[in-house]
Structure 1
Amino acid sequence: MSDVSSQEEKRHSAQVQTEPVCPDGALKTATKNGQQIVLIPQPTEDPNDPLNWPLSKKIIIFACVSLAAFACQMSPNSNQLTFIEQVETYHKTVPDLLNSVAAALAGWVAGPFFIIPLIAVFGRSTIILWSAIGELACQIWAAHCTGEGDYISFTLSRLFAGLFGAIPAILGSGYIIDMFFLHQRGKAFAVFEVLIIFAVVGGGTLSGFVAQTQPWQYVFIWTYGPLCAAIVGVLLFVEDTTYNRDPTQPSREPMPKNYIQNRIATFVPGTKTQVKGTKRKELIQRAIIPFQITFAPISLLMGTYIFISLGLPIMQASTLATYLVPPEVAGGYGFSSLDLAFFTMTAWVGMGAAQVYGYLFNDKTPLWVARRRGGKWHPEYRLANTILPSFLLPIGLGLWGAGLQYHLHFMVLAVASFLIWFSALLSLPICYNYIVECFLRHPVEASVSLNAYRVSFGLMSVFIVTKWQASVGIGWVWGMGAFFILIVDMIMAFLILKGHVVREWTVKLCPSITNSEDGAQISQEEASSTNPVA
Structure 2
Amino acid sequence: MEDIEQQRPRSNNELPSEQREKLPPQEFDQDNSSATDVGDTPAKALYPETDLSRGIIGWDGQNDPANPQNFAKTRKYGLLGLVSAMTLVSPLASSMFAPAVGYMAEDFHVTNETLLSFSVSIYLLGYTFGPLFLAPLSEIYGRRVVLGAANWFFVVWQIGCALAPNIASLIVFRFFAGIGGAGCITLGAGVIADLFPIEQRGKATSIWGVGPLIGPVIGPICGGFVGEDLSWRWVFWILLIISGVFAFGIECLNRETYAPVLMRWKTAKMAKQLNRTDLRSAYDLHSDGASPLETLKLGLKRPVLLFCKSPIVLLLSTYMSVVYGLLYLFFTTISSVFEQQYGFSTGLSGLAYLGIGVGFFIGLASVAMTNDKVVVKLTARNKGIFEPEMRLPAMIFFSCILPISFFWYGWTAAKHVHWIAPIIGMAPFGIGMMGIYLPIQTYVIDCYPGYAASANATLTATRSLVGALLPLAGPKLFESLGLGWGNSLLGFIALAFVPSPIIFNLYGKAIREKFPVRLDGKKSLN
TM category, shorter: 0.7 to 0.9
Q: Which amino acid aligns with 2:73?
A: L
Aligned to 2:315: 301
Paired with 2:109 and 2:417, the residues of 1 have a C-alpha distance of: 33
Tell me, what secondary structure is at the counterpart of 1:109? helix
1:482 aligns with 2:500: no
Distance 1:109 1:320, change over 3 A: farther
Residue 228 of structure 1 aligns to a residue in which SS? helix
CA distance in 1, matches of 2:465, 2:43: 37
Q: Deviations over 1:18-63 (max 9, x none)?
A: x985476479xxxxxxxxxx99984534332211122222122111
Q: Does 1:92 align with 2:105?
A: no
What value does the CA root-mean-square deviation take over the aligned residues?
2.8
More helix by share: 2
- Normalising by structure 1, we get a TM-score of 0.79
For 1:290 and 1:405, the matched residues in 2 are separated by 42
**Change in 2 beyond 3 A, CA 1:137/1:512:** closer
Determine the structure 2 residue equivalent to 1:201.
Answer: 217
How far apart in 1 are the matches of 2:370 and 2:77?
20
Q: Deviations 1:106-145 (Å, cap 9, x if unpaired)?
A: 1111222244343355432112112111111121211123
Q: Which residue of 2 aligns with 1:252?
A: 264
Aligned residues: 456
Query: 1:418-429, aligned counterparts within 5 Å?
Result: 418-429=427-438
Deviations 1:398-450 (A, max 9, x none): 21222333333222211122111121122211111112222232111111110
Structure 2 CA distance, aligned partners of 1:391 and 1:164? 35
1:411 is matched with which residue? 420
Question: Aligned residue for 1:453?
Answer: 462
Correspondence for 1:80: 98
| In 1, Cα distance between equivalents of 2:204 and 2:78 | 13
Aligned to 2:169: 153
Matches within 5 A, 1:322-333: 322-325=336-339, 327-328=340-341, 333=342
- State the SS of the aligned residue for 1:363: helix
In the alignment, is the contact (CA less than 8 A) between 1:72 and 1:132 conserved in 2?
no
Distance 1:300 1:466 in 2: 29
Match of 1:70 among 88, 93, 105: 88
**1:435 and 2:435 correspond:** no
Structure 1 residues 285, 242: closer, same or farther in 2, change over 3 A?
A: same
- Partners of 2:234 and 2:293 in 1: CA distance: 43
Instruction: Please state whether the residue corresponding to 2:226 is helix, strand or coil.
Output: helix
Change (3 A) 1:345 1:511: same
**In structure 2, what is the equivalent of residue 338 of structure 1?**
347
CA-to-aligned-CA distance 1:62-104 (integer Å, 9 cap, x gap) = 1111112222222243212221222211111243221101211
Residues 350, 419 of structure 1: 8 Å contact kept? yes
* 1:163 aligned residue: 179
CA displacement 1:368-407 (0-9 Å, x = unmatched): 2332344322111111221331111011122122233333
Report what 1:125 is aligned to: 144
Could you tell me the TM-score, scaled by structure 2's length? 0.80
1:116 aligns with 2:129: no
Query: Does the CA-based 8 Å contact 2:88-2:212 persist in structure 1?
Result: yes
Q: Distance in 2 between matches of 1:39 and 1:407?
A: 59
Match of 1:59 in 2: 77
Q: Is the 8 A contact 2:325 2:467 kept in 1?
A: yes
Per-residue CA distance 1:121-173 (angstroms, 9 max, x = gap): 5432112112111111121211123x5xx111111121111111112110010
Overall identity of the aligned pairs, in %: 24
Contact 1:76-1:165 at 8 Å conserved across structures = no
Matched letter for residue 70 of structure 1: L
1:361, distance to aligned residue in structure 2 (A): 0.9
Matched, 1:141 2:160: yes
Give the drift of 1:505. Answer: 2.2
Counterparts in 2 of 1:421 and 1:492: CA distance versus 1, 3 Å: same
Identify the match of residue 197 of structure 2 among 152, 157, 181.
181
Whether 1:213 and 2:229 are equivalent positions in the alignment is yes
Moved over 4 A (4+): 19-24, 38-41, 275-278, 512-515
Q: Deviations over 1:208-259 (max 9, x none)?
A: 23234212211122222321222122211211111149xxxx95122999xx
Q: Partners in 1 of 2:236 and 2:457 — Cα distance?
A: 26
1:509-531, CA deviations, whole angstroms, 9 ceiling, x for partnerless residues? x344699xxxxxxxxxxxxxxxx
Deviation of 1:495 (Å):
0.8
Q: Which runs of 5+ in 1 are unaligned?
A: 1-18, 28-37, 258-274, 516-534
AA paired with 2:328?
Answer: I
Question: Secondary structure at the residue paired with 1:500?
Answer: helix
Bigger shift: 486-495 or 72-81? 72-81
Structure 1 residue 466 corresponds to structure 2 residue 463? no
Matched residue SS, 2:257: coil
Unaligned residue ranges in structure 2 (runs of 5+)? 1-14, 24-41, 48-61, 270-286
Q: Which residue of 2 aligns with 1:46?
A: 64
Structure 1 pair 336–297 and aligned structure 2 pair: CA distance change class (3 A): same
In structure 2, relative to structure 1, the CA distance for the partners of 1:278 and 1:65 (3 Å cut) is: farther
* 1:365 equivalent among 347, 354, 374: 374
CA distance in 2, matches of 1:166, 1:84: 26
> Which one scores higher on RCO, CA 8 angstroms, separation ≥ 6?
2
In the alignment, residue 182 of structure 1 is paired with which amino acid?
A: I
Q: Distance in 2 between matches of 1:40 and 1:88?
A: 64
Task: Label 1:379 to 1:117 Cα distance change in 2 as closer, same or farther (>3 A).
Answer: closer
Distance in 1 (alpha carbons) for counterparts of 2:510 and 2:242: 44
Change in CA separation of 1:26 and 1:206 when aligned onto 2, cut-off 3 Å? farther
Picking from 241, 245, 249, the partner of 1:225 is: 241
What amino acid sits opposite 1:288 in the alignment? K
Contact 2:334 2:353 in 1 (8 A): no
SS at structure 2 position matched to 1:48: coil
Is the alpha carbon distance of 1:279 and 1:123 closer, same or farther for their aligned partners in structure 2, counting shifts above 3 Å?
farther
| SS class of match (1:166) | helix
State whether structure 2 residue 391 is matched by structure 1 residue 347: no
* Structure 2 counterpart of 1:379, from 366, 376, 388: 388
For 1:230 and 1:153, the matched residues in 2 are separated by 26
- 2:295 matched to which residue of 1? 282
